[in-house]
Copies of this chain bind each other. A is one copy, B any other.
């Protein structure tokens, strides 16, 4: 790789990093290209040379995030045996990797700002569908192995995803880092065993 290419790559990284920090702290809309210019020292034109657009830059960051997420989950997936362990591990992974991730809030904003933009909504649906399928597999396995009641694994996967999503939503608003993990754990427990008395 050239000296020039190397330099180019570095500036791209620098821009991406600064942008991530800005998006995380100020949100997507409130972060202007000008802000990124000010933070990097790079010029406007250069940013547009490396990324197609503001949206393109943001998506680039989201992809990076997605890659890291999967990578890190794959690294510890094998640690969990039973369904309960897996779900607890999954919840913990979400708390540490999603909830605390700088871009979660900005992503929410980005999605709901792209209102009628069907492409953005579709991309989001893809993410969600992936999660549901992920949940479905864990639950189906649990049913096959007699840990869970036989039931519609897809619907339950949908509900589980909703539960995680909602808890994330709420925890973002009331950031009580210490309590959050406990609540997630409790939620998984409720999901598995319910709250009603066993008669």
> For residue A119, which residues in chain B have a CB less than 8 angstroms away from its CB?
none
Contact B191 A193 (CB under 8 A): no
Number of copies: 2
List residues 33-73 of chain A with CB under 8 A from any CB of chain B: none
| Closest residue on chain B to residue A195 by CB atoms | B148
Contact A162 B159 (CB under 8 A): no
> For residue A27, which residues in chain B have a CB less than 8 angstroms away from its CB?
112-113, 115-116
Confirm or deny: A10 has a beta carbon within 8 angstroms of a beta carbon on chain B: no
> For residue A108, which residues in chain B have a CB less than 8 angstroms away from its CB?
112
Chain A interface mostly helix, strand, loop or mixed? Answer: helix
A166 to B165, CA, bound (A): 5
A87 to B105, CA, bound (A): 30
> For residue A30, which residues in chain B have a CB less than 8 angstroms away from its CB?
115-116
For the complex formed, measure the closest distance between the CB of A90 and the CB atoms of chain B, giving whole angstroms. 15
For the complex formed, measure the closest distance between the CB of A130 and the CB atoms of chain B, giving whole angstroms. 13
Contact A113 B109 (CB under 8 A): yes
In the complex with contacts A162-B169, A166-B169, A186-B155, A149-B112 CB distance below 8 A: no
List residues 142-166 of chain A with CB under 8 A from any CB of chain B: 142, 146-149, 151, 155-156, 158-159, 161-166
Given contacts A29-B29, A151-B195, A190-B194, 8 further A-B contacts (CB under 8 A): A30-B115, A109-B115, A125-B174, A128-B174, A161-B166, A165-B165, A165-B170, A193-B194
- Give the interface of A toward B (CB within 8 A): 26-27, 29-30, 83-84, 105, 108-109, 112-113, 115-116, 121, 124-125, 128, 139, 142, 146-149, 151, 155-156, 158-159, 161-170, 173-174, 183, 186-187, 190-198
